[in-house]
Amino acid sequence: MEVASSRYPYVRMMRPKQWLKNGFVLAPLVFSQQLMQSRGVERSVEAFLCWCAVSSGIYIFNDLFDREADRRHPAKCMRPLASGEVRPAAAALLAAVLLTGGLGGLFTLGLHVLVPAALYAAVNLAYSAYLKQVVIVDVMAIASGFVLRVIGGAEAIDAWVSPWLVLCTALLALFLGFEKRRGEQVLLELDAEKHRAVLTHYSSTLLNQLISVLTASTVLSYALYTISEETVAKFGTNKLFLTVPFVLYGIFRYLYVAHQKGQGGSPTEIVFRDRPLALNLLLWIGACAAIIYWPE
- What's the confidence (pLDDT) of residue 6? 52
* Lowest-confidence segment of 20-24, 111-115, 129-133, 287-291 by average pLDDT: 129-133
Contact between residue 71 and residue 82 where contact means Cβ atoms under 8 Å apart: yes
How far is residue 61's CA from residue 82's CA, in Å, rounded to a whole number? 12
CA distances from 233 to 35, 36, 225 (A): 19, 20, 12
Residue type, 206: L
Instruction: Let me know if 203 is exposed, middle or buried by CB neighbors in 10 A (0-12, 13-18, 19+).
Output: exposed
Q: Do 91 and 106 have their domain in common?
A: yes
CA angle 181, 182, 188 (to 5 degrees): 85
- What's the confidence (pLDDT) of residue 191? 58
Q: Do 284 and 168 have their domain in common?
A: yes
Neighbours of 205 (CB within 10 A): 8
In a domain, 1, yes or no: no
Q: Do 154 and 242 have their domain in common?
A: no
Q: Among 31, 18, 5, which residue's Cα sits nearest to residue 60?
A: 18
> Residue 77 is part of a domain; what is its CATH number?
1.10.357.140
- What's the confidence (pLDDT) of residue 1? 43
**What are the tens digits of pLDDT across the range 28-76?**
999 999 988 999 999 999 999 999 999 999 999 988 888 877 777 777 7
Q: Which range of residues forms the domain containing residue 58?
A: 7-161
**What are the tens digits of pLDDT across the range 5-16?**
457 888 989 999
Contact between residue 150 and residue 118 where contact means Cβ atoms under 8 Å apart: no
Q: Do 170 and 246 have their domain in common?
A: yes
Q: Do 170 and 152 have their domain in common?
A: no
Please compute the mean of the pLDDT values over residues 81-103 and round it to a whole number. Answer: 92
In a domain, 36, yes or no: yes
Q: Do 115 and 227 have their domain in common?
A: no
Q: Number of structural domains, the chain? A: 2
In a domain, 18, yes or no: yes
Please check the confidence at residue 127 and state whether its pLDDT lies above 80.
yes
Q: Do 59 and 150 have their domain in common?
A: yes
Q: Among 183, 247, 182, which residue's Cα sits nearest to residue 210?
A: 182
- What's the confidence (pLDDT) of residue 3? 43
**What are the tens digits of pLDDT across the range 200-252?**
888 889 999 999 999 999 999 999 999 999 999 999 999 999 999 999 999 99
